[in-house]
Amino acid sequence: MARTVAMFTDVSLCIGCRACQVACKQWNQLAPEEPEWTGTYQNHATFTDKSYRLVRFFEEPGDDKVGMRWHMMSDVCKHCAQAGCLEACPTGAIYRTEYGTVNINQDICNGCRYCVSACPFGVVSFNHDTGTATKCTFCNDRLHNGLGPACAKACPTESIRFGFRDELEAKARKRVDDLQKMGYKDAQLYGADQGGPLGGLNAFFLLLGKPAKYGLPEQPKLPQRNVVVDSLLSIGAAVAVGLGALLAFRGRGDDAGGS
């Protein structure tokens, strides 16, 4: 297996130019979409089957000294080490690549859409034209030809960086230290820790504040973690109903009448 690759997005460098979003659309030949009004410069409100990259804009009312604060973050598929979409997929269309990324095999996907609601980050989208689920692949074709993803190449401020996970993680941790020394006390990493939620994200972020400020779940959870408990409780209900049926059908007819 090749070394795991990753993407590191540093929101402190993002200027919201959306070059990444455009580069993604161009390289992956994603059709244009009607713009929608989301209340900010963000377009669209969610990831779509034609927008694998989404620059998210958040406005935070400030005080007298500082007016409106703008937070921008270029969001993307996290290629989770424990991926909800991959675990949910009943066809095996979603698989882990030799680079540690998560891809959807378009020749296998049958469009059941289970992965769409199983993603804790709302990344996987359903393409009504092809009848299949789609999402970012870290530009899998470019990856196999020694090129980084188109979004990282296009980013003019190096807010998006791509490379081997271990190297990027070290750089990210140094960057957090630097920012904190510069006074950005709330600088923190999201998803970099491989012992953290979902076993770490292969697209991790440097945030200036809590994840909720950027619309990210504080503690993302693998939905399939519920399967064992839910199944045991279902078996409990089955035992209760089964015993009830046994009681109802045993004995003579006279007492079954209950009268």
Inter-residue contact 46 to 54 (CB < 8 Å): yes
Q: Which of residues 51-90 bind other proteins (CB under 8 A)?
A: 56, 75, 82, 84, 86-90
Task: Check binding of 191 to other proteins (CB under 8 A).
Answer: no
Smallest distance, Å, CB 118 to other proteins?
Answer: 5
To the nearest whole angstrom, how small is the minimum distance from the Cβ of residue 81 to other proteins?
11
Write out the H or E segment, with its range, that includes residue 25.
helix 19-27
Query: Would you give the DSSP letter of residue 131?
Result: T
Q: Is 33 among the residues that bind other proteins (CB under 8 A)?
A: no
Taking CB under 8 A as the criterion, the residue among 80, 118, 143, 150 binding other proteins is: 118
Rounded least distance, CB 88 to other proteins, Å: 6
Regarding 5 and contact with other proteins (CB under 8 A), the answer is no
Task: Find the DSSP H helices in 144-216.
Answer: 150-154, 165-181
Contacting other proteins within 194-213 (CB under 8 A): 211-212
Instruction: Please name which of 89, 124, 125 lies closest in space to residue 110, comparing C-alpha atoms.
Output: 89
Q: How many CB atoms lie within 10 A of CB 82?
A: 16
Q: What is the 3-state secondary structure (H, E, C) of 73-123?
A: EEECCCCCCCCHHHHHCCCCCEEECCCCCEEECCCCCCCCCHHHHHCCCCC
Which residues, including other chains, have CB under 8 Å from residue 19's CB and lie 6 or more apart? 154, 155, 156
Binding mask 91-110 for other proteins (x = CB under 8 A): xxxxxxx-------x--xxx
Nearer to other proteins, 170 or 238 (CB): 238
221 binds other proteins per the rule CB under 8 A: yes
Give min distance, CB of 239 to other proteins, in A.
10
Q: Which residues inside 120-179 make contact with other proteins, applying CB under 8 A?
A: 120-128, 130-133
